[in-house]
Amino acid sequence: MPSPTETTLLTGKRILITGASTGLGFAMAKALATAGASVLVTGRSREKLGRAIQKLSGLGGEVYGLQMDVRQEDSIAKALDWVKDKWGTLDMLVNNAGIGMRTVNPSFLSDPKPFYVVTAAGFRDLIETNLTGYFLVAKAFVSLFIEQGKGKIVNISMNQETMNRKGFVPYGPSRAGAESLSCIMAEDLKEHHIDVNILLPGGATETEMIPEAYKKHFRESGYLLSPDIMGDPILFLASDESNGITNQRIVAKEFDTWKQQHKAE
C-alpha cells in the first residue's frame, strides 16, 4: 500500500464505497483514506462496519460508516440524504457491494452445479445485490452529480472468464450485466461530464467470497491476489488526473501497463 507521500494526495475528495467493510471495498477505502480523502463506507452489517471504521481511523482522511442495503431504495435514499447533509457534494461513487457463489452453492469450487439446480430465490437475491444494487445506487446518486455538473462512478467487476465459467450462475451473469450497465451509463452521462469506469482485480482475490478451505492452497500456489491491488487504480480514478476518462475497463493487475498505454494515446 503506497503512503500519502508516494501518491497523489486526495484531500478534499469525498467518496462513497458500497460494501466496503471487508474485501475489495475495504482495501479501496484504506487506500483512499491514506491519501487523505474523506470516505463513507457502507454495508449491511453494523458489526462489520464498526470493525472496519476502527481499522481505518487515523490513516489521514476522515472515514465514516453507514448501514445501507443496496437492494432497498429507502435505505439508499437515507445514504443520499446523509451525503447531502454532511458533505453537500460527492466526488465519486464506487459500486462494490456484492455477494458471491457461496450464497447459492457453498462448494462451487469443488462441485460446480449447473444453472438449472440454482434456486429462483438464490438467483434473485444475488442479481438484486450485484446488478440491481449497482443500478439503484447509481440512479439515486447521479441526481447529485448532474446537479453538480460533475462526478465519477466506478463499478467493480470480475474477469470475463468468471462470466463464462461452468457452474457460475448467477454470479457470472451478474457481473456481465454490471459491465453492460456501466458502458450504457457512461454513454448516458457523457453530456453531464460524469465519468463512469469499470475496475476489476484481474484474478481471484483473498476475500470472503473464497471458501477458507481453499485459501491456503491458493496462497501457496500464488493464485490469490491481495485486495490491496485495487489501491493504485482507485487512487488514480479518484484523482483529477483521470478527469474526462470514461467508459474504460481497467484491470488492476495490469494497471501500470494500461496507464502507460493511455498516456501514449
CATH number, domain with residue 98: 3.40.50.720
Look at residues 40, 140, 137 and name the one whose alpha carbon lies nearest to residue 97.
Answer: 137
Whether 2 is in a domain gets the answer no
Whether 57 is in a domain gets the answer yes
Is 0.85 surpassed by the pTM of this model? Answer: yes
Tens of each residue's pLDDT in the chain, 265 residues: 444 444 458 999 999 999 999 999 999 999 999 999 999 999 999 999 999 999 999 899 999 999 999 999 999 999 999 999 999 999 999 999 999 988 999 888 888 999 999 999 999 999 999 999 999 999 999 999 999 999 999 999 998 888 999 999 999 999 999 999 999 999 999 999 999 999 999 987 766 666 566 556 555 565 688 899 999 999 999 999 999 999 999 999 999 999 998 876 6
Domain count across the chain: 1
Whether 160 is in a domain gets the answer yes
CB 250 within 8 A of CB 19: no
Whether 138 is in a domain gets the answer yes
Domain around 260: 7-264
Look at residues 225, 203, 206, 228 and name the one whose alpha carbon lies nearest to residue 215.
Answer: 206
What whole-number distance in Å separates Cα of residue 126 and Cα of residue 60? 35
Q: Output the CA–CA distances (angstroms, integers) from residue 177 to 48, 54, 140, 228, 259, in the order listed.
A: 28, 34, 19, 25, 26
Whether 1 is in a domain gets the answer no
CB 220 within 8 A of CB 182: no
Whether 71 is in a domain gets the answer yes
Whether 223 is in a domain gets the answer yes
A 10 A CB-CB count for 240 gives 10
